[in-house]
């Protein structure tokens, strides 16, 4: 229905201009609302009732995971709050719909030795692309920045002495993350290599490519990591840029680094988001204690035999 599509377009324009959201977030809203419009068909958004929403909730619960279900429902809810603020609807029927309960997921992460093996393997490729892979992994594991922030680093974001990078995060926010030791050395070597390459046009990105964005894409980096993980026999379900980000946070926390310092590097606005990594440490401690208890029980058995 054209009227519904027009309302979605106006809403997307509104959140893009007023909410200062990341492009990926805006695109996610647009996809979710387009899917909702397709499901509703020829019914006017302004005439929807609770029963229509319940049909959509039933559709989501049957076809999507609880997290995707919740996200899509949230997109629709925010859209109808926008319509309510404009006085286009008298109420928001979605207020009467229950969101699915989401299990609290503990992030996947690699051990320090697994990350070190991954980095070590990347050093074996002496080509420019090999050096690029090494730098991508070294920066990610040294800073914990998001993969979208990593691939989009501009040359102008790097400090003159290579000791820090300006990260342009979600919603246009900026933060400075420090670089130390080995990462700085690799970065200097990579930039020297990059300057030697003869290119028709000078790219402004640290990781230039022929993609439509002008830099290496998130998906390409994900593929590179998978291939590298496969070479060292890592479980491929446990390897991704996001897992390396989680590993960075988990390893720092296990070494006693303050949670707020980790929060700042990750770019979390709320400390509660960063606190999920304390659950990782609790889980690890629980496993250690369970193992210790098992060993103690076995020792007691041997003592009885003696």
Catalytic residue positions, numbered: 146, 170, 242, 245, 268, 277
Contacts of 224 (CB under 8 A, 6+ apart): 133, 136
Give me the residue label for tokens 């299990």.
Answer: 103
CA atoms within 13 A on the CB side of 26: 18
Q: Report phi then psi at 259, rounded to 5.
A: -60, -35
Nearest to 8 by CA among 45, 50, 60, 61: 45
First-last CA distance in the chain: 82
State the Cα–Cα distance between residues 50 and 53, nearest whole angstrom: 5
Q: How far apart are CA 256 and CA 288, in angstroms?
A: 18
């Amino acid at each position: 229905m054209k009227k519904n599509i027009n309302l979605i377009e106006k809403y997307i324009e509104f959140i893009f201009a007023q909410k200062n959201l990341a492009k990926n977030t805006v695109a996610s809203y647009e996809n979710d609302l387009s899917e909702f419009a397709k499901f509703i068909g020829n019914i006017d958004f302004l005439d929807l009732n609770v029963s229509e929403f319940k049909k959509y909730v039933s559709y989501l619960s049957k076809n999507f995971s609880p997290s995707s279900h919740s996200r899509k429902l949230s997109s629709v809810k925010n859209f109808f709050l926008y319509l309510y603020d404009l006085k286009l609807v008298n109420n928001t029927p979605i207020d009467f719909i229950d969101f699915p309960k989401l299990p609290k997921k503990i992030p996947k992460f690699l051990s320090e030795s697994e990350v070190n093996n991954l980095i070590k393997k990347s050093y074996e490729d002496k080509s420019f692309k090999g050096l690029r892979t090494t730098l991508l992994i070294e920066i990610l594991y040294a800073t914990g920045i998001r993969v979208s922030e990593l691939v989009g680093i501009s040359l102008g974001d790097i400090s003159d002495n290579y000791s820090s990078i300006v990260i342009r995060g979600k919603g246009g926010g900026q933060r400075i993350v420090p670089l130390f030791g080995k990462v700085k050395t690799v970065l200097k070597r990579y930039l020297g290599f990059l300057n030697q390459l003869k290119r028709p046009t000078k790219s402004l990105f640290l990781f230039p490519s022929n993609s439509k964005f002008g830099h290496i894409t998130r998906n390409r980096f994900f593929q590179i990591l998978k291939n590298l993980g496969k070479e060292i026999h890592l479980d491929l379900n446990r390897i991704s840029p996001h897992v390396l980000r989680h590993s960075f946070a988990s390893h720092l926390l296990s070494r006693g680094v303050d949670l707020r310092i980790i929060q700042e590097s990750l770019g979390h606005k709320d400390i509660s988001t960063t606190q999920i990594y304390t659950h990782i440490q609790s889980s690890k401690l629980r496993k250690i204690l369970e193992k210790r208890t098992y060993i103690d029980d076995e020792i007691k058995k041997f003592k009885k035999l003696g």
